[in-house]
Structures are given as structure tokens and as C-alpha cells.
Structure 1
């Protein structure tokens, strides 16, 4: 079965992006109406700069935060061979390969484009999964690369970054001078609007993140032609995650959006706002894809 776009999923992604764009226009209109003296372009420029740093240095930032290191081919020849084979299947350049020392079995991909991609695994996932299951996980991560999800999420976070900066009302009041301080009512309204916009944009981004996980699962199934391997891998990883000490998961919790399954320690509010769909829904979607493949 060829790599085929899931138009139902694509429609949801496009709709989420459209809603984020409308939210951006509404928020900019509120700023212009209630704070006519504020330098809108300065705020946008600052957000663009932050998004640029996030986009161009995402691979280095994620590797640094997870303590993952780039490894040579002779250090992990079997892992390299699997990534190389799958990259060829997906018509992608060979990414860098990294290993992360952690008892949490997981994997992630990062990088601003296919030519600057990194695929990383924890050492524990290499011991947990068999060859087919590991290849299914690697194919999932390479699907993120093929779908350019880093670019998608960076663009999606733009509205939230602007709203977040506006929420720092005292900082911006001081920064833009006395005229803005005199417009106290305008600042209060904009501050309230920024909270609402930040909350809505965050929920939309979380929805977009969940959609991209479904898309990556589908990409893995089509790339390996073995969705059952990914189903088995997800079951093993989630089962093992339940017995990993919370402190081990807490160390890498900040990078959960990148992992194939989030490592939730149970000590934060992150469990209330998931970046990933429930395992049960992912498995159900993979079962449907398995039926599709069998028809061909």
C-alpha cells in the first residue's frame, strides 16, 4: 500500500490551523483598538525572533534538554541500519542518530527539516522492543520528519507566544512608556483578552499535536506495512512506563511533546493537557489501517 494522505486527518489539521489564524487576526484587532499607542510590530517581531530560535535550534535545544548524544554508526550498527532502511523507504535523507540514557523507554525526532533531522532513542527502548517493534517506532519518528511537524508546531505556537508576552502586562507597560500606562482600562482589557487567547491557542495546539501523532502512526504503518508491530510497541512502552520511577520520568517530562508516548510523572498538571491521543484511540486507528492494508 502506497503512502496515502488521510484526508479526514488533514482536514482537521487544516481546520485547526485556520482557527489559529482567525484567533491571531482577532487578537491583533483587539490590540489595535484598545492600545492604539502600542508598537504592534515590535511585539510581532519579538514573537518572530522567538519562533525563529525555536525553529532553527530545536534539534540542539531538545538534545541538550534530554542529554541525548549523537552516536556514530559503529556504536549502534543495527539501529543505524534500521534508520537507514526506513529513511530510504520514506524517501528521506539519512538523519543523525542519537541515544539518550534513561530508564524511560521512548523515542523522538527533532530538526527543522528532513536535511537537519535527528532521530533519538533511549537505551532502555532498545532493550525492551524486538526488531520489528523498534522499526515501527523509528518509522513513527521519521513520519514526523516527513510531515515537517517541527515547522507546523512552531507556526502554530506563534499566537500563543504573542499572547504570553502580552500577559506580562507590567513588563510591556514599562517597556512602551507613559502613554500606555495612562491607558489603564485598555491594558486591563487587553490583558484579559491575552489570557483567553493564550488558553484557546494552547488548546488548539494540543489538538494539533494529537492529530500529528495519529498522522505519524499512520505513516509508520504504511512505511513498515506492519501496523501490528507499532500496536505491540505502544503496548510495551505504555506498560513499562507504569513501573518507571516518577523521578526518572520527571527528569525528561519537559520534552514530552516530542516523545512517542509522554512520560508523565503524576506530579504536574501536564496530565490534564495531553499532547498525545489516548493509547486506546491510537491502537483503534492502527487496527483500521491494518484492515486497509490487508485489502490491498
Structure 2
């Protein structure tokens, strides 16, 4: 992988390794329980593995298709290409494919399993609302996700949750939970359902915690690369404020892709109560506080 000039983040690396280890351990225990219960889970594992491979190798195409994004040439979007060219030169990273999604929801995302297969997509709503320095901060943030291989790690981390979710549906739809013909034995179906739900909940919380930290890491890396944390903070405030003006229907359509976005597509107050635990992104104030600290370290105004 190309050595980039994005600031390394040992905290992110430690969290990635720890999360993958815990999920792997949980996976081994989960499969062990299924085998002990006499469950033939091969079909579920093969199906989950197939979905994982599709998501891993085609995440860029899937995301663009889902968000109605299209790749744009240098002639179609010269300013956007120019900005990304400058960031690539500054960060010593290969140039990703450039795309624009025609939606008023102000956001951006980067996806792709590695730097050679990456795409950065911005919405027309974002382009209309941000000035060049703010846009630079947002794209630097997104490109850091690719440099740190966040997409690949999060795709693999989601595997256990996918398996547990499929097992839960399998138990429900096949009637295992009713334990037919097993009146005198332990409630195997109910145990499978309970274990699957617990495994799904634990894997969900672990991956969400990792997702929130990787957003903080991307903010930090983008701000240090551009040396303009105040521009990124301004973009965060502006985009978060504009979300409240977007029609609810549009936000609901975008919400399934929150994990990819620069900021989550939500309206109202986010980050309060349990939302901070279940969210894909840290609360806005947490991100702004970190950028303010970086600005102070760089000797600049917040």
C-alpha cells in the first residue's frame, strides 16, 4: 500500500485490531454453540460469506448505485478534480475516482476496498453549500478513510453481525423457535434465537464504537493534512445545520448509508442519550472539541 502523508493514528490501529480480535473470538464461540446444539449452519455461513465478498469487492459500485452517484470527468467537474488532485499530491495518495450524486442532502462519502479501487463522491447539495476551503476539509476527511483502509475493516467487521442476523431470521422463519418434536428436550430453537440476538447486539455495539472512533480519526487526519481545522469545523456546523432543512423523506432514503457519510443524515438533535451509543458518528460537539484542540496545537484560531 502506498505510504501516505496522512497522520498515523495508533489509537485507530489498536481499536481496529482489538475489535477484530473480539469479533473473531465471538464468532468462534457463536459457531461452537451452534455446533454443540446440532445446528447445520453451513448454508447460513456460505450465504453470509458470499454477501461479504460481494460487499468487499463491489462496495464502490454498490454505494454509487444506491446513492444515484455517477463518475464525472475532469471536463465535467474541473474544480472538484483540481481540489482532489491537490489533496492527492499533498497526501501522496493515488487519485480516487470522482463522482457526484444529484441530491440536495449535503454530504460526501468515500468507499472502495483499497486506494486503487477508491471513489470519492460528493452531493450537489454539498457543493452548493460549502466554500472551497470547507469542501477541501470534507474531502480530506473522506480520503483519509481510504488511506486507513476503514472501508475494508468495517466490511469484515460487519460479517459476524450479518451471520447472527441471518441465523436469527433462519430460526424465526423455519420454526426452530417452536421446537417441534422436541417436547422433552431443551428448547433448542429458543436458545439459538437468544444466542443469535445476543451475538448480533454485541457485534453491533463493537462495530458502532469502532465507526465513531474512525470518524474522529478521519477528522484529525484531514485537519492535520490541510492544516485548516477551522475549515473542517465550519463544514461540520454548516452541514449539520442544513440537515434540519432537508425533507424527512430524503433523509430517510439516505439514512441506510450513514456509516459511509461525512455526517449522518438525521434531523433534529443527534448524539443525545442512547443515540450516542448506537450512532455511526460521534456527537457533533465531540468532533468540534477535537478540531478546536487541533487548532490550538497548530497555533491557529478555532
Partner residue in 1 for 2:214: 212
Equivalent residue for 1:28, pick from 23, 31, 45 = 31
Structure 1 position 173, deviation (Å): 6.7
Structure 2: gaps spanning 5 or more residues: 269-273
Higher relative contact order (CA 8 A, sep 6+): 1
Specify which structure has the higher proportion of helix.
Answer: 1
Other structure's SS at 1:75 match: coil
**Which residue pairs with 2:271 in the alignment?**
none
Aligned residues: 287
**Greater Cα shift, 252-261 or 136-145:** 252-261
Q: What is the Cα-based RMSD across aligned positions, in Å?
A: 2.5
1:273 aligns with 2:267: no
Q: How does 1:80-91 map to 2 (within 5 A)?
A: 80-91=81-92
Partner of 1:16: 19
- Structure 2 counterparts to residues 1-296 of structure 1, below 5 A: 3-35=6-38, 38-168=39-169, 169-171=171-173, 185-265=187-267, 273-294=278-299
Point out where structure 1 has 5 or more consecutive residues left out of the alignment.
none
Residue 157 of structure 1, CA deviation: 0.5
Partner Cα separation in structure 2 for residue 81 and residue 186 of structure 1 = 60
Distance 1:60 1:148 in 2: 17
Shift, 1:20, TM fit: 1.5
1:131-175 deviations in whole A, cap 9, x for unaligned?
Answer: 11100000011011111111111110111011011102155679x
CA contact (8 A) 2:243 2:267 kept: no
The alpha-carbon deviation at position 55 of structure 1 amounts to 0.9
Secondary structure at the counterpart of residue 187 of structure 2: helix
Distance in 1 between residues matched to 2:220 and 2:276, nearest whole Å: 24
Please give the per-residue CA displacement for 1:174-204, whole angstroms capped at 9, x wherever unaligned.
9xxx999997722221111001111111111
Of the structure 1 ranges 91-100 and 42-51, higher mean CA displacement relative to structure 2 is found in 42-51
> What is the alpha-carbon distance in structure 1 between the residues aligned to residue 89 and residue 189 of structure 2?
54
| TM-score, normalization by structure 2 | 0.87
